[in-house]
């Protein structure tokens, strides 16, 4: 094989990879639900961000980082990190997602904070994978799906002031292959949808803030 042909082969591989990255991409669609507290005043008080919860061990740290960055942009110095406050306060080893009034009162006394922010992610399905190919067997449909829930508590009033959820879904189906060229669609993984959904849901708090 001549050097020229070898070079062309490498170029063809590069073009194929580029084609895969630029082909139709299922970035995901997001649906928001606020049970309470869509509009909040973030101008006063100390807001404690709890450690995030999720069923994804790999992406839980990314979920926390995205949550911290998002609320930090809203609250500035008013946001308190759980790890930081543990250096000066004695708190329970784990603070749950859903808390009773008694637990909220105890946390307020122990932390000296005014509000608690809880974020929980859930990877629902990864049925579509990251790449979807036309099997040629007729209709095809699969999806990657995740959800993120946020609960914000007023520790002094011992009550929930905001409850919200976002559901992210990326669907691959045979309509992506109607052109018959056999090029796969690139789909956001359920884990990526979870982290992106957290960012978008926190963005809704920023968008609708009262202060």
Domains of the chain: 24-208 (3.40.50)
Element at 199 (helix H, strand E): helix 190-208
Residue 138, token pair as written in the block: 């007729």
Buried b or exposed e, range 39-71, using 16+ CB within 10 angstroms? ebebeeebbbbbbbbbebeebbebbbebbbebb
Termini Cα distance of the chain: 70
Q: Residue 53 carries which DSSP code?
A: B
**Mean pLDDT within 119-130:** 75
Please give the residue that has the higher pLDDT: either 77 or 137.
Answer: 77
The average pLDDT across 70-84 equals: 96
Per-residue pLDDT, averaged over 136-152, amounts to 76
**Measured between alpha carbons, how far is residue 35 from residues 159, 166, 174 in Å?**
14, 11, 36
The pLDDT of residue 130 is above 60: no
Q: Across all residues in the chain, what is the average pLDDT?
A: 81
Could you tell me which of 164, 155, 158 has the C-alpha nearest to residue 205?
Answer: 164
Q: Does residue 32 register a pLDDT over 90?
A: yes
Helix (H) or strand (E) holding 122: strand 115-126
Percent of the chain past pLDDT 90, that is, above it, reads 59
Q: Are 41 and 210 in contact (CB under 8 A)?
A: yes
In which band, very low, low, confident or very high, does the pLDDT at 108 lie, cut at 50, 70 and 90? very high
Q: Which two tokens stand for residue 50?
A: 């709890």
Instruction: Look at the chain and count its residues.
Output: 211
d(Cα 99, Cα 203) in Å, to the nearest integer? 25
Give the pTM: 0.77
- What is residue 171's predicted lDDT score, i.e. its pLDDT? 73
Q: Is residue 170 very low, low, confident or very high in pLDDT (cuts 50, 70, 90)?
A: confident
**Residue predicted with more confidence, 3 or 146:** 146
Nearest Cα residue to 24 out of 147, 152, 184, 138: 184
What local confidence, expressed as pLDDT, does residue 22 receive? 37
* pLDDT at residue 169 in the model: 87
């Amino acid at each position: 094989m001549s050097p020229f042909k070898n070079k062309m082969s490498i170029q063809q591989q590069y073009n194929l990879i580029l084609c895969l990255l630029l082909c139709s991409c299922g970035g995901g669609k997001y649906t928001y639900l606020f049970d309470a507290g869509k509009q909040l005043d973030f101008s006063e008080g100390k807001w404690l961000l709890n450690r995030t919860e999720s069923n994804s061990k790999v992406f839980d740290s990314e979920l926390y980082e995205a949550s911290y960055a998002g609320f930090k942009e809203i609250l500035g110095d008013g946001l308190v990190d759980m790890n930081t406050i543990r250096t000066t306060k004695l708190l329970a080893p784990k603070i749950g997602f859903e808390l009773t009034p008694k637990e909220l009162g105890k946390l307020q006394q122990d932390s000296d904070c005014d509000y608690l922010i809880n974020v929980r992610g859930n990877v629902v399905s990864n049925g579509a994978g990251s790449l979807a190919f036309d099997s040629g067997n007729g209709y095809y449909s699969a999806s990657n799906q995740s959800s993120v829930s946020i609960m914000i508590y007023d520790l002094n009033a011992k009550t929930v002031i905001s409850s919200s959820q976002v559901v992210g879904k990326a669907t691959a189906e045979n309509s992506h292959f109607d052109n018959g060229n056999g090029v796969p669609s690139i789909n956001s993984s359920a884990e990526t949808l979870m982290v992106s959904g957290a960012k978008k849901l926190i963005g809704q708090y920023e968008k609708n803030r009262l202060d």
